[in-house]
Amino acid sequence: MRCLSVFCGSSPGAEPIFASAARDLGLEFLRRDIGLVYGGGRVGLMFEIARTVHEQGGRVTGVIPRDMVERELAYTEPRDLRIVETMHERKALMAELSDGFIALPGGLGTMEEFFEVVTWAQLGIHRKPCGLLNVAGYFDPVLSFLDRAETLKFLQPEHRAMILSDPDPVRLLDLFETYRPPEADMARWALDMSKT
């Protein structure tokens, strides 16, 4: 894994543990020589992880829409800041540059970005690991929803298993290193779903 995308909040959250977790993940990236690909901002949790990696000499690639740069929301200190025109271009470039995807706590944008790349994995568009850093149980309701979707046969077990989760960045990245994607067989998947 040379580079991983991190999706996370443009807010630091209500508790200091969230910013601390972002910094801890950044330090683990440094320890493993993993480059960070992120949304390019200088706010919230995204700034915490980017600043941690950058200030310790790690590789940081920011990908940010031009209008956010014009609103002075970009973290411009790292050398590799890619400016794009749209959010769609941002997500596509982040996916192209990354060997996997991690979501830290965040809001609507974080969840939209994470579930888009998970859906791409389900469809066989990529075979990269996708995981949630479940800081202080933040993603527990999401994981419960996914378990319920599997129980009610809206989600196949192999697709549920694609979503890795751990509260500890070391263990989560260990899961990434041993991840083996399921074989995508959309015809069988569609047939199985039609029988439920």
Q: Judge whether residue 185 has pLDDT over 80.
A: no
| Single-letter code of the amino acid located at 114 | F
DSSP character for 154? S
Per domain, the residue ranges of the chain are 3-194
Average pLDDT, the chain: 94
CATH architecture of the region 3-194: 3-Layer(aba) Sandwich (3.40)
CB atoms within 10 A of CB 162: 19
**Mean pLDDT, residues 89-101 taken together:** 97
| Termini Cα distance of the chain | 37
Q: How confident is the model at residue 187 (pLDDT cuts 50, 70, 90)?
A: very low
